[in-house]
Structure 1
């Protein structure tokens, strides 16, 4: 069983990344494979809208997105975390979601399970969760809730989320729910 975590934050150990790590714990605790992609450590350019991928099946932009295409194919489930700026998904993560367009016909995420995490200073977490889940649905991902929906939290300074035991618990519940569904399907 393999789970992919994508962290959209540009802050090393940012609050949304910390929650993502907590959501991956149930998989690690069971000895399953995890891959944690940090967008702060790779370079992914925005889509050019050139439509070359529709002709060749390959994106012509030369950057690190090829790692993410391979991770989409590799995983059984995916959890995406985003910080919230301007009441929406962060731009680095939006580039990933847009660039999925190059493999839309292949549908590497179809039938896999996914969850979403959003952390912001004020408003916009629900919009961000909805944006991630809407993208997942368009990819054929089966969206999995935590206790209620995706995981949302309010935090400002780096590490603030570590004082929010309920948010950390909610992230682990999200991971546990995805794990249970993958296990049911695999069995």
Structure 2
């Protein structure tokens, strides 16, 4: 497309003195779209163009929920103990775990795409699968949700590197941060052991 634009512009204005608007007119003609907004906002304007990923998170989708439910006209209680038992049975039978992945994309700058132009979002998962979707990019941010049998590996906006005018390409992709629940659990247990040790030490004094 770009070669067609440049070729048309060169043939039409050879040995002439074209103005900027002449080039914009050729772009609109060849593409069949009104892209004047692109030049007005990103070429002539001073607004910052910056789209990126603000967060990527994956949490396990709970198959069982604790509580009291109506089952065939009678009340049935699902306890934590029963949930653990059912989860063990699922593990033995080879049932897959599913994860809810949330990706937040953000327009960090003031400039934005217009018309029917969209920003592409690609999410890559740990099992090698991918999800690709589009964002209109008008609002300040948007959250995309995916349900997959694997956690997200990373998310990337503009994966084809079309928008090289983006002022900060470093925020165009983001890896999922590992959960810290395990760290907090170990830290809590360690504090409990230290507390018991100190109590025993004090009692011996």
TM class, shorter-chain normalised?
Answer: under 0.3
Q: TM-score, normalised by structure 1?
A: 0.21
Q: TM-score, normalised by structure 2?
A: 0.20
Decide which structure has greater strand share.
Answer: 2
- Could you say which structure has the greater relative contact order, defined with CA pairs below 8 angstroms and 6 or more residues apart? 1
Q: Which has the larger radius of gyration?
A: 2
Decide which structure has greater helix share.
Answer: 1
